[in-house]
Structure 1
Amino acid sequence: MQSMSDYYSAIQLRADRWSALRETTEALSREPKGKKAAAQIEKISGLFESLALIEAYWAFPGVQAFEQLRRQFEHKNFADVAFGVQRVTRALTTGAYRRRHIPLDRDSVDTEDHDDEAMQSLEARALTKPYFEVMIVDNVNEHQERWLKSNFSRMRRLEDPFHYEAVVVPSLQDALIGILFNHNIQAIVVRPGLIMESKIELPILKRYLNRAGGINSIEALQPTDYGPELCRLIAKVRPELDAYLVTDRSVEDIAGLDLGICRRVFYNQEDFLELHLNILRGVQARNKTPFFTALVEYSKQPTGVFHAMPISRGKSISRSHWIQDMGAFYGPNIFLAETSATSGGLDSLLEPTGPIKEAQELASRAFGSKQTYFATNGTSTCNKIVVQAVVRPGDIVLVDRDCHKSHHYGMVLAGAQVVYLDSYPLNEYSMYGAVPLREIKHQLLQLKAAGKLDRVRMLLLTNCTFDGIVYNVERVMEECLAIKPDIVFLWDEAWFAFARFGPTYRQRTAMNAANTLRERLRTAEHIAAYEAQQAELKDADDETLLNTRLIPSPGSRVRVYATQSTHKTLTSLRQGSMIHVNDQDFKGEVEASFHEAYMTHTSTSPNYQIIASLDVGRRQVELEGFEFVQRQVEAAMSMRRAISTHPLLMKYFKVLTAGDMIPEEHRESGVQSYYDPHQGWTDIWDCWEQDEFVLDATRVTLLVGGTGWDGDTFKTDILMDKYGIQINKTSRNTVLFMTNIGTTRSSVAYLIEVLVEIAKELDELLDDASIMERRGFEKRVSNLMHDLPPLPDFSRFHDAFRTDQITIEGDIRSAFFLSYDEKNCDYLELEGSINDAMDGGDDVVSASFIIPYPPGFPILVPGQVVSNEILAFMRALDVNEIHGYRADLGLRVFTQDALKRQAKTNAARLKLNDARNK
């Protein structure tokens, strides 16, 4: 039996313990006096002991039923125990306990013993009442606990839209553990009898408390404050939940307290009907999907279609003799729900006033923004909308150079002066990390020294990166605001929408950090700290400022935008995305331009199915996002552990750790790896709270160079073609496995089986290989693992596209459109004419974006000077795709005459601007 230290998740621990208990009790009941009986009894006793510590946090099977099973075991009623455990395990596995009462006695009849949720049709499952659990926090005895539960049970009515069961815990600590452990909990009733400390001592549960931020800061509280403080702490850990405070304190005392997620305060401790109705109403508020519901209702209405959509109501399909297969494949509902905003009856995405508007407001609540906007053509469009809305021609924007290409095109459209920021390189894996805060501060201080700080408009960063590097978002914004108090932040969270719904992850999301900053900037403690630092840093030089954690002015404006690909990490149809806004100046300064940018890039015929899926996806994460994200992290952690401890896999593969992907100077916590075969699991809360960069645990980067295959070959020829495993991202010697909220333990197990099979085949191949074949293999491995070209930094913009020689920003828009005239461009061959041009002293300047796949970032942008380092990197690439480069012609560059003309034009424009400014 695995020890508790082998488990990252208490949910995995619980599931495996029940499974082991079922197997062992069944074996014992078959041969109660067999040779293995003594060992089996000892094992069962240990399993009951470990499960007893965690079953208190679940309504099913419940403490009383669990203790009854244990008493039966102690009385040697092994057959009864085996029967009851089998029923519990089956119900937990199939989810049957969510739909009906599960009898555990041998003489009970369960006519739906094989009621497996997976065997039911979607229609049947949609008709069942959703189930959830309510946690009651009160230090009561067994008799009082039964009284509490029975009072809630008596409030049930047939017309209730949901069904719930109650679970009772005694203390503040138990409540925090419970909401982190039990994903079924949707509401908490906090009664005045709660105490502070849990009676349970278990390392895996202490890890859950750490994810709530620990409890050191609340040990000095008075018992009368435990209830309000618990409501506040729950808001920090799981803000989507509802809390109800039952108290006998005066209204005046309660009114002045921060009650976190508390929806209502009750003064009558026995007003169970009102509590029941409020619990249902609170869950209903999250379950509501205004647009999806409106679309379903629309699909049921009889209509006559006289507008420009033949497919509406499925008429053009049902009348066809040749495309009936399309109708059969998709079914009728998708066509019944197909309509246009101009036909009336629903709402317009461009000017929402009805269900779309309400759906966006609910999404804003769920994701912690001030405004949220839906998009139906992906985050590429979201990025361009935000950039166009906020950035004006001539504004300086600091941009992560290896961000998504939509941002680069956004800079072109906006006419921004771009300062490209270099991420730290991971040359041994042919990938970039993220942009160090020191580099960002350095560029801001350079611009300040040049008198250009007033023109700096935006900082644009990717969080998390494709490879899973996550910024300390709050710290980045703090220190940038200390230099430029009104800078706008655009965080590309295309791959990070799920992070809002995990307590550890949430702290590094843009919206959470923005809300935290807005709250903290107003506090007296912050004002005092700012004033003290200002006195200390008076006349400080740039090096001192770079080495100091800067504190922003209390008057700073928090202006934050986040774009998310909902369809990438949450439930949504393809291209469903969201823009989240948390900008203190949005109403007065940006709203009108945002509306225009939104109109510019959004189709007047948006896909209603995508909008509906965004609405439903929001409902899902508010009600079960915590569970799904938790399981997603568990799946990735299981994968890490399995690969890191398998002796055969370790010969050819390695899971890259935080220590591999984040340099030591950016890991203040010193955490090297989330799992170590010798030490077990690392509690990641500390590093996520402290470090400049952390590694997203849901992404597993596997080093495959030891197999002799490059990343692209391993992905295409081995994983996809041979085993049907789909992945997206590769580098020269790595492949990236991304778990998501749909990843199961079975899919992880299959992947491990595949990797083991690949390793075995390699073993056999090398065992039969000749000396020359073995040398060839070793050479391929060496080329992939050691002989890697260094990743090039951004060189510079050509002077024809710069304002001066003091700072590095460049006019990417002028360069982009200069290339439209083919007379301004030429092609130079990588192995020939380009060398002649550079040897002759000419600046070779790219006229296009050059983006190799992999790694997928632009190594050249329009107007950028080609460096020897970039050429060396391009020559060393062995990828099939280099966007913007034509192998038959070469690299597209500007002619020297075009650069001279542009330089004159640029000089005249700058002279005119200077005259206007004077």
Structure 2
Amino acid sequence: MNTSVGGIRRLGMRALLVDDEIAQETATGRAVRTLSAELAQRDIDVLTATSADDAIMLIRSDPSIQCVLLDWDLGVDGHGPSEAVVDAIRHRNGNVPIFLLADRSVASTVPSAVMGQVDDFVWLLEDTADFIGGRIHAAIERYRATVLPPMFGALAKFSRVYEYSWHTPGHTGGTGFLKSPVGRAFFEYFGEALFRSDLSISVGELGSLLDHSGPIGESERYAARVFGAHRTYHVTNGSSTSNRIILMASVSRDQIALCDRNCHKSAEHAMTMSGAIPTYLVPTRNRYGIIGPIASERLTQAAVREAIASNPLTAGLADRQPKHAIVTNSTYDGLCYNVARVEELLGASVDRLHFDEAWYGYARFNPIYRDRHAMHGDPRDHRADRPTVFATQSTHKLLTALSQASYIHVRDGRNPIPHGQFNETFMMHASTSPNYAIIASNDVAAAMMDGPGGAALTHESIEEAVAFRQMIARMNAEFGAKGDWFFECWQPDTVLETRTGRTLPFHDAPPELLASDPSCWVLRPGAQWHGFGNIEDGYCMLDPIKVSIVTPGVAPAGGLMPVGIPASAVTAYLDARGIVVEKTTDFTILFLFSIGITKGKWGSLVSALCDFKRDYDANLPLDMAIPSLVKEHGSRYAGMGLKDLADTMFAAMEQLGTTRLMSEAFSILPKPEMSPVRAYEHLVQGRVEQVTLEELAGRTVATGVVPYPPGIPLLMPGENAGPAGGPVLGYLKALEAYDRRFPGFAHDTHGVEVEDGTYRVYCLTA
């Protein structure tokens, strides 16, 4: 339901009328129909429901409802159905106006709990439809005025003001595109609203991203409240830039920064740009190659001192006190730290803690993640003697902002960076011509999480993920009971039901327990399912919405089984059916249950996994199972079946030792010959050359080498590649050999250029 104003679509008015007498020939029924007609005359679209269940379904499925008119005498069982509708509304939306349709004689009997949640009464048989309609129209207008957050509201308002502009951008609200055929096609594809909101910094009504004024500054203060920060910054070119801003504002040349080796490449870039000396904190790894947390014992003050002392790059530094620490939370695979514990441990060594939460912006809004995100708890309780804490969040990843939208959140503690000082670095990375739609989408992402809406949306995601996980676990158990195979989820095998004290198989646990009790997801010391050994109890939790499907092939104690199915074969099969996964490792496939997931969407995934099993067992010809593979690489895969492909790939992985070598390569720290910035200077000055893997032994790399997955730097700029028979080169050679054997399944390794199947890496010449 949209209306068009000046060519720009606007959300129209919509009300939900809940009354079980609407179709009846009673005085109340006739009054309800008259009111509905009156609202229609006022251009208010009216949805109707005759039962509490119907109303609740509409409330859950239609967020465009801007007013609810609810019969207080709904149903025949007292006022319980009406109270259930009120609860359902307020569970999702704390502000939408609710009018109770009631008789004056019963108004005094409405419980105080309900009175506190509704906005007004309607006396259907006493007031005129015109009078009631006017009150409803006014309530909707007031609600609509409060729905839009600061910056988006100002942007939407300004875009409706028709003025001649003599400033940038040159398309002037889109009219410039209308002067050529291709421009008109572009205009019609995106629509006028986008171009009317693509404005210049010259538009003072919207404020400035650079000096955080006007509606943009108000929006940042609003986001800080919503996300629990002391202050928040909009960033319009991704969390990669957010990470660079923080590190460059915090660390300067030849100062020590502690860096999670499981870091995004933007942390590497930030080390290079700032000139910092990285000392790496190495995370754990399990039998599947899934990256775990940095063990708590590696974050103690003594362990940090030892890591700095053993780093060759710190030799000769007068100041060996780390200035900054960056930790990835949650990990790509969904492992979340107890941040309060990390603060306690790392806070003994460093004043500034920086959590890269690019994939984790929703955590504050559901109690299952309590204390496991950077902005945990009440910001007013963050004392000046605690570390200063930064968080970066990609609001476009698992919230609802546009691509490149990001937030920086800050809580000031020890050695804070004042806003004015921090903003100098911010302005180095910000454009004087930011995309206002990106800023507005950040604003909207915050507004969607504000109040009960955030809890409702995140809980629904968790519920869907739990339902999917339990279905896969149940199917795995059923097939296993018949001696057959099926996929499984990487998750606890059993769950303790705290109410009864019983230990239940995961698929038999109450879904609401799994969706609400974080203890169901905590990594317990020595539990075989997670594979991270004697981890500190409570230190790490698996995020329910990040679901890793495990394919057969890895033994519970580690090592390969006699038969296996490489995950990349499954991913290719799914891709041929229009299902695109987030990440694929040797034997795991990652799926993200964001707030856009529906039962139909994951139901299709379950069906596709069942189809794969059927077609694998039948060895369906590849030209039917994965047609594009045979079309593009017919000479390699002609005549093969799906099982043939999986068996051949698994045999190659076993022969080349890819899984074993990956574990060995990532379990060591290569020797750093120079800092990242020194290596980069060699690159800029042209004192580098590309060499093959056969020539790489003992050489110092000029750029990072990062295999995806897992996305962790194998080599950082300035590090030595090690001996020819060492684990680093052994792993890269195994990947190179595998890629040559299986065209269409090549690995994506940043920092490696492939020419005719040969890996080449930039190294220093002298």
TM-score (norm 2): 0.71
2-side partners of 1:338 and 1:370: how far apart?
A: 30
**1: distance between equivalents of 2:99 and 2:321?**
53
Residue 398, structure 1, aligned to residue 247, structure 2 = no
Q: Is the 8 A contact 1:380 1:406 kept in 2?
A: yes
Structure 1 residue runs of 5 or longer lacking an equivalent are 1-58, 63-83, 108-127, 136-140, 165-279, 520-554, 661-670, 802-810, 899-918
Alignment-derived partner of residue 487 in structure 2: 653
Distance, in Å, in 2 between the alignment partners of 1:160 and 1:599 is 46
- Partner of residue 412, structure 2: 583
Map 1:436-451 to 2 at 5 A: 436-441=295-300, 442-446=302-306
Deviation of residue 556 (structure 1)? 3.3
Cα distance change of structure 1 residues 446 and 147 upon mapping to structure 2, 3 Å threshold: closer
- The partner residue of 1:606 within 403, 410, 434 is 434
SS in 2 for 1:748: helix
Aligned residues of 2:401 and 2:441 also touching (Cα < 8 A): yes
Report if the CA contact (8 A) 2:208-2:216 is conserved: yes
Q: 2:711 — aligned with what? A: 856
Out of 284-293 and 357-366, give the one that drifted further: 284-293
Secondary structure of the structure 2 residue equivalent to 1:510? coil
SS in 2 for 1:584: coil
CA distance in structure 1 between the partners assigned to 2:504 and 2:152 by the alignment? 40
Return 618-627 or 688-697, whichever deviates more. 688-697
Q: Does 1:431 align with 2:290?
A: yes
Alignment of 1:151-170 (within 5 A): 154=120, 158=134
Q: How does 1:446-595 map to 2 (within 5 A)?
A: 446=306, 455-481=321-347, 483-484=348-349, 486-512=350-376, 515=379, 518=382, 556-584=385-413, 589-595=417-423
Residue 499 of structure 1 contacts residue 509 of structure 1 at CA under 8 Å; is this kept in 2? yes
C-alpha spacing 1:601/1:302, structure 2 compared with 1 (3 Å): same
Q: Does 1:793 align with 2:666?
A: yes
Render the CA deviation track for 1:170-218: whole Å, top value 9, x for unaligned.
Answer: xxxxxxxxxxxxxxxxxxxxxxxxxxxxxxxxxxxxxxxxxxxxxxxxx
Aligned partner of 2:539 in structure 1 is 692
**Residues 41-84 of structure 1 deviation map (CA, whole Å, 9 limit, x = unaligned):** xxxxxxxxxxxxxxxxxx9989xxxxxxxxxxxxxxxxxxxxx9
TM normalised by structure 1 equals 0.60
SS in 1 for 2:202: helix
Q: Per-residue CA shift, 1:396-430, capped at 9, x if unaligned?
A: 1111112110011000001111011211112x323
Contact 1:487–1:559 (Cα < 8 Å) also in 2: yes
Equivalent residues of 2:704, 2:750 under 8 A apart:
yes
Counterpart Cα distance in 1 of 2:98 and 2:242: 37
The equivalent of 1:906 in structure 2 is none
The secondary structure found in structure 2 opposite 1:349 is coil
What is aligned with 2:57? 93
Q: CA deviation at 1:887?
A: 3.4
Distance 1:855 1:724 in 2: 23
State the alpha-carbon separation in 2 of the partners of residues 794 and 505 from structure 1.
Answer: 29
Deviation of 1:826 after TM superposition, in Å, equals: 3.8
Maintained 8 Å contact 2:256/2:320 = no
What pairs with 1:178-193 in structure 2 (closer than 5 Å)? none
Query: Does residue 643 of structure 1 match 2:512?
Result: no
8 Å Cα contact 2:154/2:215 also seen in 1: yes
Give deviations 1:130-174, integer Å, cap 9, x for gaps: 736799xxxxx998445775796656785578979xxxxxxxxxx
* RMSD between aligned residues: 4.2
Specify the SS of the correspondent of 2:666: coil
Q: Give yes or no for contact 1:504–1:688 (8 Å, CA) kept in 2.
A: no
Whether the aligned pair in 2 keeps the contact of 1:369 and 1:511 (CA below 8 Å) is yes
1:711 alignment partner in structure 2: 567
Q: Give the secondary-structure state (helix, strand or coil) at the position aligned to 1:569.
A: coil
Q: CA separation in 2, counterparts of 1:701 and 1:644? A: 12
SS of the equivalent of 1:397 reads strand
CA offset digits 1:753-812 (Å, max 9, x no partner): 2212222222333899x99997875564466689522422365565642xxxxxxxxx22
Q: Is the contact made by 1:129 and 1:162 (CA closer than 8 Å) also made in structure 2?
A: no
Tell me which residue corresponds to 2:79. Answer: none
Q: In the alignment, is the contact (CA less than 8 A) between 2:69 and 2:98 conserved in 1?
A: no
Q: For the structure 1 residues 160 and 812, does the alpha-carbon distance in structure 2 shift closer, same or farther, using more than 3 Å as the test?
A: farther
- Change in 2 beyond 3 A, CA 1:448/1:718: closer
Aligned to 1:813: 677
Residues in 2 aligned to 1:414 and 1:583: alpha-carbon distance in whole angstroms: 21
State the secondary structure of the residue aligned to 2:752. Answer: coil
Structure 2 portions without partners, runs of 5+: 1-15, 20-47, 77-92, 101-105, 123-131, 311-316, 495-500, 523-536, 554-562, 623-638, 739-745
Confirm or deny: 8 A CA contact 2:247 2:274 kept in the other structure. Answer: yes
Q: Secondary structure at the match of 1:323?
A: helix
The alpha-carbon deviation at position 452 of structure 1 amounts to 7.4
Deviation at 1:893, TM superposition (A): 5.5
Q: Tell me if 1:846 matches 2:674.
A: no
**8 Å contact kept, 1:652–1:759:** yes
Please report how far the alpha carbon of residue 357 of structure 1 lies from its aligned counterpart in structure 2 after TM superposition. 0.6
* Cα deviation 1:247-301 (Å, max 9, x = unaligned): xxxxxxxxxxxxxxxxxxxxxxxxxxxxxxxxx99x9997452211111121121
Q: Which residue of 2 aligns with 1:322?
A: 182
The answer on 1:833 being equivalent to 2:695 is: yes
The 1:800/1:405 distance shift into structure 2, 3 A limit, reads closer
- Quote how far apart the aligned CAs of 1:632 are: 0.4
Q: CA contact under 8 A between 1:294 and 1:346: conserved in structure 2?
A: yes
Residue 572 of structure 1 contacts residue 614 of structure 1 at CA under 8 Å; is this kept in 2? Answer: yes
Which is worse superposed, 792-801 or 561-570? 792-801
Aligned residue identity for 1:880: H
| 1:507-562 per-position Cα deviation (integer Å, ceiling 9, x unaligned) | 2110115848635xxxxxxxxxxxxxxxxxxxxxxxxxxxxxxxxxxx83420000
Quote the Cα distance in structure 1 between the aligned partners of 2:447 and 2:166. 34
Out of 593, 613, 625, the position equivalent to 1:759 is 613
Distance 1:346 1:774 in 2: 59
Aligned partner of 2:487: which letter? F
1:570 alignment partner AA = L
> CA separation of 1:370/1:319 partners in 2, compared to 1, >3 Å: closer, same or farther?
same
SS in structure 2 of the partner of residue 461 of structure 1: strand
TM-superposed deviation, 1:637: 0.5
Q: What's the counterpart of residue 701 of structure 1?
A: 548
CA distance in 1, matches of 2:405, 2:644: 50
- Aligned-residue offset at 1:884: 1.4
Identity of aligned residues (%): 26
Query: 1:727·1:737 contact (CA, 8 Å) conserved in 2?
Result: yes
The separation in 2 between residues aligned to 1:359 and 1:785, in whole angstroms, is 54
CA contact under 8 A between 2:358 and 2:394: conserved in structure 1? yes
2:591 pairs with one of 714, 730, 737: 737
- Inter-CA distance 638–861: structure 2 relative to 1 (3 Å threshold): same
Residue 391 of structure 1: how far off its partner (Å):
0.8
What amino acid maps onto 1:313 in structure 2?
A: G
Q: Distance in 2 between matches of 1:822 and 1:743?
A: 48
User: Which protein is bigger by CA-based radius of gyration?
Assistant: 1
1:592 deviates by: 3.4
- Per the alignment, residue 10 of structure 2 pairs with none
Deviation (angstroms), 1:434: 2.0
> Which residue of structure 2 lines up, in the alignment, with residue 892 of structure 1?
761
Displacement of 1:703 in angstroms is 1.3
Structure 1 residue 747: Cα displacement: 1.2
Instruction: Pick which of 858-867 and 634-643 moved more.
Output: 858-867
2:182 match: secondary structure: coil
Query: Where do residues 722-733 of structure 1 align in structure 2 (5 Å cutoff)?
Result: 722-733=576-587
Cα offsets for 1:295-354 (capped at 9, x unmatched): 112112121122232222211123333332222222211112221012433221111321
How many corresponding residue pairs? 610
Q: Aligned in 2, Cα 1:748/1:101: closer, same or farther, shift over 3 Å? A: same
